[in-house]
Amino acid sequence: KMKKFKIKLDKEACIGCGVCTSVCDNWIMDDNKAKPKKTTISEKELKCNKEAEDICPVDAIKIGG
Ligand code: SF4
């Protein structure tokens, strides 16, 4: 069975810079805040979401198992 990962966004922390959307197509902007299209992702989708987590300047993105 494929492992699943949960995505959490701290909307208060998000400064709306849009960088996450440039590194991962799971991220879009909505009303000047980032928004994940999917909040549960597969291992295959982990890589670019991890990049978004790493690149976010305010650590608003957290990915957990
Ligand atoms: Fe918000 Fe972080 Fe995405 Fe910038 S990179 S839009 S601060 S979640």
At residue 22, the pLDDT reads 98
- Regarding predicted confidence, which is higher, 2 or 8? 8
Residue 46: in which H helix or E strand, if any? helix 46-55
The mean of the pLDDT values for the chain is 96
- Per DSSP, the three-state class of 22 is helix
Instruction: Answer yes or no: are the C-beta atoms of 62 and 3 closer than 8 Å.
Output: no
Ligand 1 centroid distance, CA of 56 (Å) = 5
Cβ of 13 below 6 Å from ligand 1: no
Write the pLDDT tens digit of every residue in 25-46: 999 999 999 999 999 999 999 9
Q: Ligand 1 mean position to 36 CA, how many Å?
A: 11
pLDDT tier at 5 (50, 70, 90 boundaries)? very high
For atom 1 of ligand 1, the residue with the nearest CA is 14
